[in-house]
Structure 1
Amino acid sequence: MKAKIFKSTQDLLREMPTGGKVKIDDIKYLKVLRDEYGFGTEDKGYLSFTFMDRLSLIESVRLKDCLDLLSPYPDKKSREHIANTHKDEKLNSYPVSRDFVLINTLDDFRLNGEVYTKSPFTSLGLSIKAHEIISIEHRQIVLVENLTLMANLASLKIPSSLKEALWIYRGDVHAGQQTGMAYELFRRFDHHQLICFSDLDPAGIQIAMTSGAQYWLSPLECEQAIKIRQNKQLAGVEQEWFDQKGAITYLEAKAQLPKQCQLAFDIMKTQHHTLQQEHMLSHDLALDLFEL
């Protein structure tokens, strides 16, 4: 999302914090919100939106663009850039790690026309500067939601076609682990087979649908997978479904979801249970590719 559209959207949400109605006319940013983010409901030249639409939009922009509509538009620079003109290289700088992505593979790394040997030790992978990757000689690229999985690729029950894939950690909201560069790298190689591996929950479906991926890597037996969380031997309270109202609203606003996403979402709405990637790993679930 460009800065001008971001700031106009931010002004709208601040002006109407509980929802409202605004005339569309030829206002560019409203058309972008409607067409690209499915925001609001259009009727007789007006765009109406609710408080839940507002929350859903904030979440969609966070996932798709790695931007927070509740914060200023990022204009920070690298520490190297700042050091050219200022004594304090940290002044208004973004984290050093923002330029880097975490990648891993089950075999060797094949990048920039070269083959690089994978470490013999169990590791999260390689943290490398994203812009130095000119070409990727892996046919499949998998965007991974949770960090735990990056160190346990060999333990996943994946289709044989993914044995030589390149896996990229999408990052999270914490400082030093931002998602922006991972998405940029992932989408830059859209002539590859792009796959999103996310949690089996509303937010995970939303991540998959907005990631730019062509396929979703998810449990082969969706209903049986979700039932794992009903196991009374698992301690704790099931809360994930109830904590994802923004993602639920986003999915419900879609006229049509990809087949497997719709199946999973329908089961979740009935069961009020979800399943995270760590459970897929620990319960040795078979995974498969589903078209988005």
Structure 2
Amino acid sequence: MAILAWLHNAYGRDLIDGIRAALPGEDIREWPEAGDPDAIDICIVFRMPHGFLKPFRNLALMSATGAGIDHYLLDPDFPRGIRMVRIVDHDFASRMADYVLAWTLFHHRDVAHFLAAQKRREWAYKIMRSAREVRVGVMGLGQMGRLAAERLAGVGYDTAAWSRSRHEVPGVACFAGAEGFGPFLARSEILINLLPLTPTTRGILSAATFAGMPPGGVVISAGRGGHLVEADLAAALRQGTLRAATIDAFPVEPLPADSPLWDTPNLTVTPHCSSTASLRTIVDTFAENVRRFRAGAALLNEVDTLAGY
């Protein structure tokens, strides 16, 4: 049997070379050189179009290259009977919290104002509020959302969080469920999205959500592209409903060169880079799962494909 790999190009050849070195006895093939599809029983795939896995009738194990698996499961042809694992880097949440804190500070301190003033050669003094005067809201209280909320609160921000079910986080005002969403939005002048993508969260970054925030709010999204209604975001920024936004994930990636979002005022685009697994973690975790799978042992970070996590 054989392994098919379709990997992130950000690591260059180092990732596939690392996997080959860690699994010297395996037949490892790189897409699109898959060979006989019936020989493939394991896949490790970064991103794939819907229906990609259909030719591989003997596929038994699917590995993501990161922690997020929702975009795989949204494929209507995803073979639900196979086993699936993900890569969990213990530094994931810390890297995400760094991203969230960096952009929260950027918008709170209105760095864009000073950058624009410098281009105009203008000494544009501006009074700044302290962190405790800025109300920040985090959507999602999984591992990443919780640490991000804790870090923001630790810096001194007036921090709240919203999730599907009730949580308690010291120093963070927690809201839950449909009944808590409106009050949460109403106090979130900087709204941070770290939700998983589910049928209920798809399109949540919409005109209705933006309108529920204080006027001139800011959105920072490091969740999934399916959360974003692009036209609503662009309209909110043009109309002043939102003052600014930083978006890391889009419905179509890479963001097409002709997308109007590139030129939308007060929008910062980052290329889905908020938090990534290290090359070493991907190689070691995947190789260990292959060895365990071949031996019939319990897998690391196995996903319940029916539950979606």
TM-score range, shorter chain: under 0.3
**Structure 1 length-normalised TM:** 0.28
**Structure 2 length-normalised TM:** 0.27
**Structure showing the higher helix proportion among its residues:** 1
